[in-house]
Structure 1
């Protein structure tokens, strides 16, 4: 929830029971990695170069594969990808199988602030899904891409950049950063008489039930799930999913979960309302927090979009990760 603006939505609250197992895409989810799905095919591709730089790819041309395949060039020791809706940062180099020449590539700038769901990539390159599942942060992966491993729409979209309409491709994926899809950790007991109740879908998406009671006059913060990551630093921006409702209207006015796919937000403490910033103080990465924010710590007597003046706000915040605040552009 930024201080100066709110992106509004009208999605209904989600009302399902708490679940005890770790949702897919969280730190507690299990994952088994196939390091080389087709040794014969992948032996034709040689990848070299430092992990921090664009790789060199050597392949005997024309390279043709009937099926998608992948092999780990380097395996990192960071968090694993267990769900394609997890937010992450990738660097990718794409090679033409016919000529062996580079077609497209990301910047390899070292910037890991621009996290986005991996499904943005896998929807364009279906071959990436098997290659990425259970891969870990810090890994470099070679991918052999068949004709069907790239959608027709993607080939058409990038035709002017040289992407061929037919034929096999080779990709090298560097997994720079991996964040959980939702909070995970130890569920905490809270004495919540007269306070909102939070429920979650099996994949961790929260909903908020506001009671028929008088809203508190002070900020109330409850840690619902205690993550086992480091404490969020005062000079760090938080990468979060959140849902916000107004106490009186009991309607969702803003939620990062409502995108398709859900897109987390990176928030600097001095760019959000004071009550939201207070809720993040001292929290650990991986935690889920509920905060009730009275008007004087929210938007006060000023209406904000569909949020009426003098509204008490309720947020549920999943703290997925952090990044230096200085790396985040001003809104």
Structure 2
């Protein structure tokens, strides 16, 4: 399921990662519309997003161990994001530039239909950076600001402060349709530590179906198993890190080693160059991104990427090292985040 993320989806979302930003709106115009409809004014710097009639019309479940459920009587059309505390937590308050760990559910603001949820039923939670000036899902950030750890908060977010006025058809959101965002604030993560020089810990054997990997003079040597080349996506962690979790849209520092499963040839390796790479997770192919998001810094991750999640949609690489039908394999050491 994709992940809602204000700088990037996993949910929320590959859509966001692909650059579908919320449309820019004139704050003055938003304020005029809000006054006319009885809605809330947009949040000023350093203030908490106010409530309003749309969010207050929601009935929201209060069991924090279960995915949120809602009921309401008619389509919600706020002029600006409206925020409501459903369950008040007793922890630290979320402020700008924090990185928040949370579970959440999100719904169609017109029909009430649940689009999805993240972080419940043994599913890993998400992490979102609180960047009030982000052009992506700014209403989500405004909903989380001022919340305390342990809280459940609700936000009704107009299209202009979500996916943009054209909506997100991939999620059943038509033009101008608002979203309802219900979040459980789990924790506030400390600033990331400096990148590791190298990983610590003992590498575990690769799971069945994965290539065998060992480092020789600091560079991975990959031995592919016999049999058919896999056509499905797979991820395994052979060293479990103890650092912060990589969130969707994070800028990571990694060592990586990429091998074409079809040809057995190495096509790129920062290990061989002796210099780690730094890049945002929303700036790489989907299979590589999805192999990092949710992992902890300090982990070594093995990623098998079929063509559809790699370079197949691009017709392979320009240098011919990866063809449009080729499966690729990565060894990735996650050294840090910035």
TM-score, normalised by the number of residues in structure 2? 0.43
Higher relative contact order (CA 8 A, sep 6+): 1
